[in-house]
Copies of this chain bind each other. A is one copy, B any other.
Amino acid sequence: MRDLPSLQALIQQLRHIPYVASKQVYRVALYLLTAPEERSVKLLDAITQARQAVTPCELCGNWAERAVRCTVCSDPKRDESLLCVVEQWPDLYAIERLGEYRGRYHVLGGVLSPLEGVGPDQLRIAGLVSRLAIEPVREVIFAINPTPEGEATMGYIRTKMPSSGIVFSRLASGMPTGSHLAYLDRTTIHRALAGRQLL
């Protein structure tokens, strides 16, 4: 692609975007090159606008738009005794879309990853500890993804938590809906078996 330096530069920038897999990058670049001018302008504007308007909630780390606190933290109807700890906003949004959780959140901002330079100080762990000292939380639900880094993060945070008065829980591990045993990894099957539920 040495003959197409602008396209190469675009693809280089796209490669920084997580979850745009290496082979999709070419198809995304094709869209960005060929989309109608109006749509391209709208995309560039939307990125710029969102970066200006959207900031983390000072309390929980959820996104807030032109506000210090997010709509969950500002909502007096949300249950202050339930606190759900997630890694990132997409995780929070996945739970929020269910429409059944009425507690509040705490967004860590990621997981511990020494190789990538993410230590406890890079996550909102101190903020979580101080919230538990002030807010009337009865249960902390860890909705951390069951990856090695997620497990390590959960284990580390648990040691920083107050030793009494609060219940700590985590999301159930097991078979996802629509899955087949034959296609699942050993760890998932192990957990589904160990965590089996009575009929």
Q: Given A39-B16, A88-B30, are A54 and B93 neighbors across the interface (CB < 8 Å)?
A: no
Residues of B within 8 A of A137 (CB): none
- Which size class do A's interface residues fall under? 35 or more
| Alpha-carbon distance A49/B44, docked complex (angstroms) | 13
Residues of B within 8 A of A142 (CB): none
Copies of this chain present? 2
Residues of B within 8 A of A192 (CB): none
A59 contacts the other chain (Cβ, under 8 Å)? no
| Alpha-carbon distance A89/B124, docked complex (angstroms) | 44
| Alpha-carbon distance A20/B31, docked complex (angstroms) | 11
Across the interface, A49 reaches (CB within 8 A) one of B6, B40, B46, B47, namely: B6
**Chain A 19-41 per-residue mask, 1 if CB under 8 angstroms from chain B, else 0:** 11001101111111101000110
Closest Cβ–Cβ distance, residue A195 to chain B (whole Å):
25
| Alpha-carbon distance A88/B24, docked complex (angstroms) | 13
Closest Cβ–Cβ distance, residue A16 to chain B (whole Å):
6
Listed by A's residue number, 28 A-B pairs whose Cβ atoms lie within 8 Å are: A3-B65, A3-B71, A4-B65, A5-B53, A6-B50, A7-B65, A9-B46, A10-B47, A10-B49, A13-B39, A13-B42, A13-B46, A13-B47, A14-B43, A16-B39, A17-B28, A18-B27, A19-B24, A19-B27, A19-B28, A27-B88, A29-B50, A30-B89, A30-B90, A32-B50, A33-B63, A44-B44, A44-B48
